[in-house]
Amino acid sequence: MIYEPSVSAVLIFLAFVVAAVGLSFYLGRRTKSSEAYFAAHGQIPWFVNGIAFAGDYLSAASFLGICGMIAAYGYDGFLYSIGYLAGWVVALFVIAEPMKRLGRFTFADALDAKFDSRGIKAAAGISTLAVSVFYLIPQMVGAGVLIQPLLGLPHWVGVLMVGVVVIIIVVTAGMVSTTWVQFLKGSLLVVFSTVLVVIVLGRGLNTDAEPHSTIGPIDSALLLGDSIDERLVVEATGEWSAHSEFVRLRSEPGQGFDLYVVIPTEDANQVILRRGQTLTKITGGATLVDGLPLGNEAGQRQLRGVGSVTKLPGGVASTGPLGPIEYLSTLRQSEVLLWSKQAINEADGSTTTVFYPKPTDGSQIMRPGEHPTFAGIRSGDPLDRINFLSLMLALFCGTASLPHILIRYYTVKDAAAARKSTIVGIASIGFFYVLTLYLGLGAMTSGALDVTDSNMAAPLLARSISSLLFAIISAIAFTTVLGTVSGLILASSGAVAHDLVGGFLGIELTGTAQVRLAKVAAVVVGLIAIVLGILFKEMNVSYLVGWAFSVAASANLPALVMLLFWKRTTSQGIIASVIVGMVSSLGWILLSADTYSKVFGWDPATAIAPFSQPGIVTIPLAFATLIVVSLLTSVRRDT
């Protein structure tokens, strides 16, 4: 860990939590009816609702995941920004006004507006629950991942804290408090990200971030000798001997070593050595950095923060302040160090991870295709290309099908307000996504990145500027989780109380009883989320968000779109489409190579699904199911 838990981060975070919970109790005194609990009486001003859209939507995956991906690989993370925003176009132009006109509390209301079918309520309620729970897992895992380095507490404490705070927010005042917490979080996130980007641009690009990190150019024959630069070469034994690109140099016995990676130059006989770092997990629990115990004392070593520019255009050492366009064009002509890792099994059974820099041309980091997920678009494999198309399709269709986003249309008074709040949402979310590119690239060149955890890129960028900003950004990142999780839990509790119990089981409840039931459901879903967040600790955050988008797009969007645009749609068609879309996308994900390797630990080559992203198959499948079933059942309709 290259950062210490910060007292100011704890205090600022606590201030946020106290403010959010206090607000909830204040607003909760008047929230008794179901109109208030599920839809805030439809009284939220459109501007506030628009910013709350941003607070609802910009989850930990957006803020931490995308910035981290850009910091580690360049442009590729920005593809997510583009896809996530494009989805809002579907929401505004196609979905927003009908959703508001047709529904009352939940997504199922809108689907069922024409039919009054218990089957639709059940199918839509279950799909709401499935999507929300899938979306909840990465948020909860993200909360734990954040709290470990920031507050110095174990993973499960972070998950538990978020769970408890969110349950309090949702149970006290439902949609009213959830909206205001999301409004608070959305504004803070956009404002402070802007502050960070302004500072990044003012700092410009500098080449001196990591001094004394290279040796040479030296004669490549020296690599075969037993000393380089007056230091002894550690003998490469075991698996190390298969990695002639790594050289370990030792100044004194017992003082660890410095790892260097061999980088060829234009002259075949000359090489440059560039310093990397190693992390060894010894069986039994101890951790070594470059051969010494992890720590800050004498005789111990700490991982270094990384990320630097090695060459700037014109050979200057510093550019001075840059404009937003200049920043990107200068970086495109520079050379940057990107960090890769290589696992090496030691003879004693422990595993060493070598983190080593790779000088990368700026033009390469400013184009798509560096991240493993997207490398396929340059490999020429048709399946990789289909996988890419499938991901971009799921991002485009997923946004307008997320239940926790859709319920926000019921908190404003009419269709015009729904439209206006979506426009405010698009403007603030779009602006934030433009900032993500600068935040990511700023972190990439900040010298503050943690090689072991790319999710921390944005907070660490703030840390390279000032510790107060680090505390604020960390606390905002944590609040980000609060805002999104409250929206999800509220959507789930609505699905249980309103769609499943009230609609499907047909149990008539008074407003107060329905709210009581929804609160119980919120507590139960919250507890399930806490448990899943702890169980799925090891899962990659952005990977799980991708699942939720695919399932939402496959299960919900076809039914919603066809209901609006095809007059012959029947209730059976909608039910079949939701179920087929949900089951096929979930099944595909479970049978994909990514899940085989990352979840089950099986050989990915044996996976049944030909590529990882289901959208391009399951979204058309759900449309086709709806059309076929509707045509088959329309004759029996007694209208």
Helix, strand, coil tally for the chain in percent (to 5)? 65, 10, 25
The single-letter DSSP state of residue 91 is: I
Phi first, then psi: what are they for 537, rounded to 5°? Answer: -45, -40
356-395 residues near other proteins, rule: CB under 8 A: 363, 366-369, 377-378, 385, 388-389, 392
Nearer to other proteins, 26 or 156 (CB): 26
Is there binding between residue 602 and other proteins (CB under 8 A)?
Answer: no
How far apart are alpha carbons 305 and 2 in whole angstroms?
Answer: 7
* Among 431, 590, 606, 462, CA closest to 62: 431
Q: Is 75 in the site for other proteins (CB under 8 A)?
A: yes
464 by Cβ neighbours in 10 Å (0-12 / 13-18 / 19+) ranks as buried
**DSSP line for 167-228:** HHHHHHHHHHHHHHHHHHHHHHHHHHHHHHHHHHHHH--BS-SS-S-EEEEEEGGGGGSSEE
**CA 530, chain centre distance (Å):** 18
Identify which of residues 47 and 602 has a Cβ nearer to other proteins in the complex: 47
Q: Among 89, 164, 534, 539, which residue interacts with other proteins (rule: CB under 8 A)?
A: 89
- Written as six digits, the tokens of 229 are 């630069």
Sign of CA dihedral 308, 314, 320, 326: negative
Residue 230: CB minimum distance to other proteins, A: 43
Residue from the set 219, 267, 414, 603 that interacts with other proteins by CB under 8 A: 414
| Residues making up the chain, counted from first to last | 639
Hey, is 518 helix, strand or coil? helix
Instruction: Give residues 19-38 in contact with other proteins (rule: CB under 8 A).
Output: 27, 30-31, 36
CA dihedral (401, 407, 413, 418) positive or negative: negative
In the numeric block, which tokens belong to residue 195? Answer: 């502050």
Q: CB-wise, 345 or 363, nearer to other proteins?
A: 363
User: Which residue lies nearer to other proteins by CB, 392 or 456?
Assistant: 392
Binding of other proteins by 41 (CB under 8 A): yes
Q: Is 332 in the site for other proteins (CB under 8 A)?
A: yes
Selected binder of other proteins within 8, 19, 21, 114 (CB under 8 A): 114
The verdict on 94 binding other proteins (CB under 8 A) reads yes
Touching other proteins, residues 418-457 (CB under 8 A) = 419-420, 422-423, 426-427, 430-431, 433-434, 437
In terms of CB distance, is 3 or 115 closer to other proteins? Answer: 115
Nearer CB in complex with other proteins: 110/146: 110
176: contact with other proteins by CB under 8 A: yes
Residue ranges in 562-581 that form contacts with other proteins under rule CB under 8 A: 563
User: For other proteins, which is the closer residue by CB, 137 or 557?
Assistant: 557
Min CB(377)–other proteins separation in Å: 5
Q: Is 92 in the site for other proteins (CB under 8 A)?
A: yes
Neighbours of 622 (CB within 10 A): 28
Spatial separation of the C-alpha atoms in residues 72 and 439, rounded to whole Å: 12
Nearer to other proteins, 97 or 258 (CB): 97
The CA-atom distances, in angstroms, between 512 and each of 225, 515, 517 are 81, 5, 9
User: Does 69 engage in binding with other proteins (CB under 8 A)?
Assistant: no
> Would you count residue 634 as binding other proteins (CB under 8 A)?
no
| Dist. CA 587–CA 472, nearest whole Å | 41
Stretch near other proteins under the rule CB under 8 A, chosen from 120-128, 198-206, 209-217, 321-329: 321-329
* Among 78, 257, 410, 588, interactor with other proteins by CB under 8 A: 78
SS3 assignment, position 528: helix
Smallest gap, in angstroms, from Cβ of residue 364 to other proteins? 9
Q: In the set 16, 38, 46, 257, which binds other proteins (CB under 8 A)?
A: 46
* Among 541, 454, 457, residue whose Cα is nearest residue 196: 457
What DSSP line would sit under 484-512, residue for residue? Answer: HHHHHHHHHHHIIIIIIIIIIS-----HH
CA gap 15, 28 in Å, rounded? 19
| Tokens standing for residue 274 | 């560039």
Site size with other proteins, rule: CB under 8 A: 70
Which of the ranges 61-69, 407-415, 459-467, 489-497 carries the binding residues for other proteins, by CB under 8 A?
407-415
The answer to whether residue 470 forms part of the interface with other proteins (CB under 8 A) is: no
**Residues that bind other proteins in the complex, under the rule CB under 8 A:** 27, 30-31, 36, 40-41, 43-48, 75, 78-79, 81-82, 85-86, 88-90, 92-94, 97-98, 101-102, 113-114, 176, 179-180, 325-326, 328-330, 332-333, 363, 366-369, 377-378, 385, 388-389, 392, 396, 413-417, 419-420, 422-423, 426-427, 430-431, 433-434, 437, 563
